[in-house]
Every structure is written in C-alpha cells, then in structure tokens.
A = this chain, B = another copy of it.
Amino acid sequence: MRISRTRAREGVEPAPIFVLVEPQMGENIGAAARAMLNFGISGLRLAAPRDGWPNPKAAAMASGASLVIDQAQVFDDLDAALSDCQYVIATTARRRELATPVLAPGEAARELRARVGSGQRCAVLFGGERNGLSSDDVARADAILSIPVNPAFASINLAQAALVVAYEWARAGDMATIEPPRDQDTPADKAALAHFFDRFESALDAADYFYPTEKRPGMVRNLRAAFSRAGFTEAEIRTLHGAVRALSRLPK
C-alpha cells in the first residue's frame, strides 16, 4: 500500500473526517490523533469536548501527530459538526433500536472509499470514553459501523477504534501486498537450482551418502523437492554452494 509522502504530510488525500463526540480526556484525543495519522487520515472534529479546546494534554499526547491537533475543528454540538457532511457513519458496539444498517469495518471502508472518491464529505463518529455514542447521536448516521469484538470480552478504547477504522480505510484503498519483492529476493531460476543439485549430489556421492544404492533416486527426489519449494534466491544458492564445498573439504 502506498501513501504518497507529500500528500500524507500535507494531509490532502481526500479522506473521511473523524468526529469525536463529547470526548473526555485530552490524552485520549491525542492518542486518537496519532492512531488516525498512522493511516493517513488527518481531519479531526470535536463536538463539545468536555474540557474545552485547545487542550494541552491532547497536544502533548499527539506529539508528532500535532498537525491533526492543530487543524482540528471544534463545534458546540454534533449537528454543527456534521452540517456540511453528506454521509455519516457511527462507530458503536451497542445494538440500537434503530433501523440503521450495520456495517463491518471493511464494508464501511469500501462505502467510504466510493463516496469520498465521488466527492462526498464523509464523517465517522466516535463516542466519548465513558458512554460511547447516544442513540440521538446514532440517529444522525447513515450507517452504523460495528467492530466485531469478542462478546465475552470487548475493551476497545477510543484510539483503538479510530485505529481499526483508519486501518480499514487504508486497506480499502489498496488491496495489493505491501512492498514489491526486491530484485535480490527473486527466487533463482530452476537452472541455478539444478546446478546446485548437481554439485550437492556429487559431493554426497563422494561421501557415500546414498545407501543402499537402490534408495538413491527416492532420496535425490526428496532433497530436490525440499529445496525446490524453498524459493532460494541466487545469493542463497551461492551460499549453499560454498557450504557444500567447505564441508566436502573436511578430511574424511
């Protein structure tokens, strides 16, 4: 997955806005800021933060994620925070007596990608540490995002919830594997392996390894199978050649 360094620094890749509804402890706001920015999301809004704003504890905890705190927008209530948003997802574990559709984080991320991609301003709501989102808060959402936690033990905190949602957002942006393999990690071609097998088996023959003789074909086959699926690189095969040579030189 590639997040352009420039865009991440400027925070301009279109992304959902994370809205903390009546957040309590400044440290948790700062931790949420760090969690989001791990996955390139930098737009933060606070609706009626308990301790007002700015909040030195939030800034201190945010540390290197200060751009999120510095750019955070603060509102008196949730309606104000959502006034320019076209699609809102409420993150909550508790079942509500509402007909709002419930999405898994991955589904929600795909929905957000589609809408953000078509220019809609989207927000994801996170409730305060003590009580989470109220039913009135959830009633403002187009959909509910529920992180599927263990019913016997559910302890996800605010920053962790923000982390999972941001992570899914990033994952939905690029399903490819992370890094292309390095050239030097490319498995050697089968000719290089065959050459190694020749040397290896010759050395083993000289050491009378294959015994009894009629077992040799099967033993060779098993060795070749083991090495063939290991994906050894050319450098590793050179190393193995060297090891075989070194061991073979020992006095018998």
Contacts and interface: CB of A to CB of B under 8 A. Distances in A.
Determine which residue in A8, A34, A247 has the highest number of CB atoms from chain B within 10 A of its CB, and name it: A247
Given A107-B177, A164-B167, A184-B229, A150 B38 contact: yes
A222 B239 contact: yes
A99 to B, nearest CB: 4
How many copies the complex holds: the figure is 2
A202 B207 CA distance: 18
A95 interface: yes
Contacts of A231: 99, 101, 229-230
B239 A155 contact: no
Contacts of A88: none
Contacts of A203: 247, 250
Contact of A239 (B105, B223, B233): B223
A38 B155 CA distance: 6
Interface string A48-75: 0000000000000001110000000000
Interface string A233-252: 10110011011101111101
Contacts of A150: 3, 8, 37-40
B38 A156 contact: yes
Contact of A226 (B5, B9, B176, B232): B232
Given A5-B152, A156-B163, 13 more contacts: A8-B151, A8-B152, A37-B150, A38-B149, A38-B150, A95-B179, A103-B177, A167-B167, A203-B247, A203-B250, A207-B249, A223-B236, A229-B231
Interface of A: 1, 3, 5, 8-9, 34-35, 37-40, 63-65, 95, 99, 101-107, 146-156, 159-160, 163-164, 167, 170-171, 174-179, 181, 184-185, 200, 203-204, 206-209, 219, 222-223, 226-227, 229-233, 235-236, 239-240, 242-244, 246-250, 252
